[in-house]
């Protein structure tokens, strides 16, 4: 049906050019709010009425008359109706809807993927996500970020972008110093609650694990570093380096458990070591957008829409550690500006940051800093996806504590309790900017109430029916699709046809939750079809046509699930047998 839609859009463009030369309106169809109104809707007459100073319904009638004369509309459109102030509703012929089955079977795993366009090689995008400091296990917020970031990367790649996945983390500064002090206290025999235990120390059991391995002089390897412990409790620098490597390794394992990978790791410390922070400060001073007041250096971020100017550099606290003095002198957004300048310098014409909602205040100041640096960075660079917190429920009660982490539920907890697929699907089942309750009990339930089970079971059901039929792809591709006329078949085919546009829209909007919504709707359309019709019928041609539709549905389910990073199982257990279960 994608080819049908393109043919109709080209015909619409031709009719609009004849009706209103030079109008500049892009041909487009919308989905009617109610299925009973038709398959496509066109609002061009209403959009052109005002500039042309015409009555929109009269203009709509002229457009309908022009479209009716074009071959594509004669071939694929059954009826056109004018409604309301000038809507044009189109009802497609059955053959137009049936065409989607052949399209899906022909495209296979590539169905819904955007065709490569000229110049795509220059479309580089960097997506930064998770970016957790190596001070403890990844928590539920990081989990949501990981699922969001990976799915957004998949969607952008599907639309032809050259995507780089980057993890940025702070491997220096006050938090890392606290981590080292916490491990050192454990090495010296202290524990939470002791008088000698540092007030700001991290209390989770993982600190004891790090200390034990350091004392044993173990070596640890992470994706971006490795280090061997000295075992000396007074070796604070060695403790710091070992603890960072140890927790980076733990985070690597967490992310692998969720099926998330990165192309590059960027260290905040490198921005200082390479002089990038100081160079950025010099650029901002040279731009004339800074001033000194109260002993601090300020940036005029109000010139770029911020609600107040921001401190860039303050005096280092008296008695501070010389190793961290330079870092502590700068406020958080200064290295952030330096870091984002590196993204632009590396040739990324588009940058996307996925962060928690608590970073909302950094958006304006980072963008202001990039503009003030006067390096040609576009305004609005980078794009941000901010997500809200996740509440975990188990046994009807909120879960707040993880023994391993000390004060929060970890990514590994969720994966261990429910599995990778459930974690990823659930984390992507709501818009990022909405608060979300992760119900552990629901996530492991084998029933239609569990959305990921509901979708995966649709795929497994189809696999079961196709296995019983034993027809190969060549015979399914030759099916007589004109036999697919039942209402549930039509509804399912229309839903399959929505996938390409839905995926393009989700990528443009950075909205992977659209995929989760679509999958539930597609699964519902399939389950309704499964309940209404039989597939292994005596009429061999009808059976083959219906099995071809099932094969196309299975393919689209698998394609979209893959973009979410969720599996498409061929068999699944079910707690409760229903009348729909058996293929009679």
Domain limits of the chain?
Answer: 2-92, 274-383, 388-443, 451-564
Tokens, residue 156: 């952008």
Q: Which of 550, 559, 549, 560 is nearest to 518 (CA)?
A: 560
Mean pLDDT on 531-558: 96
**What's the pLDDT band for 573 if we cut at 50, 70, 90?**
confident
CA distance 102 to 107: 9
pLDDT reported for residue 405: 60
Instruction: Indicate the pLDDT class of residue 128, thresholds 50, 70 and 90.
Output: very high
For 293, counting Cβ atoms within 10 Å of its Cβ (0-12 exposed, 13-18 middle, 19+ buried), the class is exposed
The rounded mean pLDDT for the chain is 91
The pLDDT of residue 317 is 55
Is residue 326's pLDDT more than 50? no
**What's the pTM?**
0.89
What percent of the chain lies above the pLDDT cut of 90?
A: 79
Mean pLDDT to the nearest integer, 443-464: 96
Neighbour-count burial for 112-140, b at 16+ CB within 10 Å, e otherwise: bbbeeeeeeeebbbbbbbbbbbbbbbbbb
pLDDT confidence bin for 171, thresholds 50/70/90 = confident
Q: Which residues contact 340 (CB under 8 A, 6 or more apart)?
A: 351, 366, 370, 377, 381, 382
Instruction: Please choose, from the candidates 371, 287, 289, 361, the residue with its C-alpha nearest in 3D space to the C-alpha of residue 331.
Output: 361
E strand or H helix at 102, and its extent?
A: helix 94-107
Confidence at residue 271, expressed as pLDDT on a 0 to 100 scale: 93
Residue 173 pLDDT:
75
Task: Find where tokens 């330079």 sit.
Answer: 326
Distance CA 365, CA 343 (A): 17
Token readout for 115 is 């065709």
> What angle do the packed helices 499-509 and 513-532 form, to 10 degrees?
160
pLDDT higher for 153 or 317?
A: 153
More confident residue, 410 or 584: 410
Contact at 8 Å (CB) between 41 and 89? yes
Q: Are 492 and 553 in contact, with CB atoms under 8 Å apart?
A: yes
Q: Which fold is adopted by the domain 451-564?
A: Isoleucyl-tRNA Synthetase; Domain 1 (1.10.730)
- Percentage helix, strand, coil for the chain under 3-state DSSP, each rounded to 5: 55, 15, 35
Does the pLDDT of residue 234 top 80, yes or no? yes
Question: Cβ of 103: how many Cβ atoms within 10 Å?
Answer: 18
The helix or strand, by DSSP H or E, that contains position 206, with its residue range, turns out to be helix 205-215
Q: How many residues does the chain have?
A: 584
pLDDT of amino acid 435 = 93
181-204 mean pLDDT: 93
- Decide: 178 and 135 in contact? Cβ < 8 Å: yes
Average pLDDT over residues 72-80: 95
Tell me the β-bridge partners of 296.
Answer: 293
For residue 432, CA distances in Å to 118, 429, 579 come to: 32, 9, 37
- Backbone Cα Rg of the chain: 29
Sign of CA dihedral 17, 23, 24, 28: negative
Element (H, E) at 213: helix 205-215
Residues 6+ apart with CB under 8 A from 425: 451, 452, 455, 516, 564, 566
Q: In the CATH scheme, what is the code of domain 2-92? A: 3.30.1360.70
The pLDDT of residue 327: 46
**How far is Cα 189 from Cα 210, in angstroms, rounded to an integer?**
13
């Amino acid at each position: 049906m994608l080819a049908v839609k393109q043919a109709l859009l080209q015909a619409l463009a031709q009719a609009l050019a004849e009706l209103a030369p030079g109008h500049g309106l892009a041909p487009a169809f919308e989905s009617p709010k109610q299925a009973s109104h038709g398959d496509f809707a066109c609002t061009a007459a209403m959009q052109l009425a005002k500039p042309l100073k015409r009555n929109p319904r009269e203009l709509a009638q002229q457009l309908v008359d022009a479209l009716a004369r074009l071959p594509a509309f004669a071939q694929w459109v059954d009826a056109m109706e004018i409604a309301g102030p000038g809507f044009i509703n189109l009802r497609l012929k059955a053959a137009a809807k049936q065409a989607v089955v052949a399209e899906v079977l022909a495209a296979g795993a590539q169905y819904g993927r955007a065709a490569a366009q000229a110049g795509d090689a220059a479309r580089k995008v960097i997506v930064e996500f998770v970016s957790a400091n190596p001070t403890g296990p990844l928590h539920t917020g990081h989990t949501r970020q990981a699922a969001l970031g990976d799915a957004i990367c998949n969607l952008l790649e599907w639309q032809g972008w050259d995507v780089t996945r980057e993890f940025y983390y702070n491997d220096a500064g006050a938090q890392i110093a606290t981590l080292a002090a916490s491990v050192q206290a454990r090495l010296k025999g202290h524990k939470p609650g002791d008088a000698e235990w540092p007030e700001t120390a991290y209390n989770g059991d993982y600190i004891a694990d790090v200390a034990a391995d350091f004392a044993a002089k173990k070596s640890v390897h992470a994706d971006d570093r490795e280090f061997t412990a000295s075992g000396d409790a007074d070796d604070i620098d060695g403790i710091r380096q070992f603890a960072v490597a140890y927790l980076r390794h733990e985070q690597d394992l967490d992310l692998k458990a969720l099926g998330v990978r990165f192309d590059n790791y960027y260290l905040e410390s490198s921005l200082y070591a390479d002089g990038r922070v100081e160079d950025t400060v010099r650029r901002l001073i040279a731009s004339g957008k800074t001033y000194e007041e109260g002993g601090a250096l300020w940036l005029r971020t109000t010139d770029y829409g911020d609600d107040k100017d921001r401190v860039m550099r303050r005096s280092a606290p008296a008695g501070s550690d010389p190793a961290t003095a330079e870092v502590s002198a700068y406020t958080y957004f200064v290295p952030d500006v330096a870091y984002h300048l590196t993204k632009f310098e590396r040739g990324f014409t588009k940058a996307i940051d996925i962060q928690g909602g608590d970073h909302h205040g950094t958006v304006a100041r980072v963008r202001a800093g990039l503009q003030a640096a006067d390096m040609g960075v576009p305004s609005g660079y980078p794009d941000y996806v901010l997500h809200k917190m996740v509440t975990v429920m188990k046994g009807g009660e909120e879960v707040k504590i993880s023994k391993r982490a000390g004060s929060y539920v970890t990514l590994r907890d969720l994966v261990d309790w429910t599995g990778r697929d459930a974690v990823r699907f659930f984390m992507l089942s709501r818009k990022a900017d909405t608060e979300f309750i992760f119900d552990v009990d629901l996530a492991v339930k084998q029933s239609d109430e569990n959305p990921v089970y509901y979708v995966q079971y649709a795929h497994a059901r189809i696999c079961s029916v196709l296995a019983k039929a034993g027809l190969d792809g060549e015979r399914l591709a030759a099916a007589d699709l004109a036999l697919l006329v039942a209402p549930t078949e039509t509804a399912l085919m229309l839903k399959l046809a929505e996938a390409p546009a839905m995926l393009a829209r989700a990528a443009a909007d950075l909205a992977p939750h659209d995929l989760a919504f679509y999958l539930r709707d597609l699964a519902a359309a399939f389950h309704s079809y499964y309940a209404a019709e039989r597939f292994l019928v005596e009429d061999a041609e009808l059976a083959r046509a219906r099995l071809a539709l099932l094969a196309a549905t299975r393919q689209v389910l698998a394609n979209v699930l893959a973009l979410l990073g969720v599996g498409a199982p061929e068999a699944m257990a079910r707690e409760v047998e229903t009348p729909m279960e058996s293929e009679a």
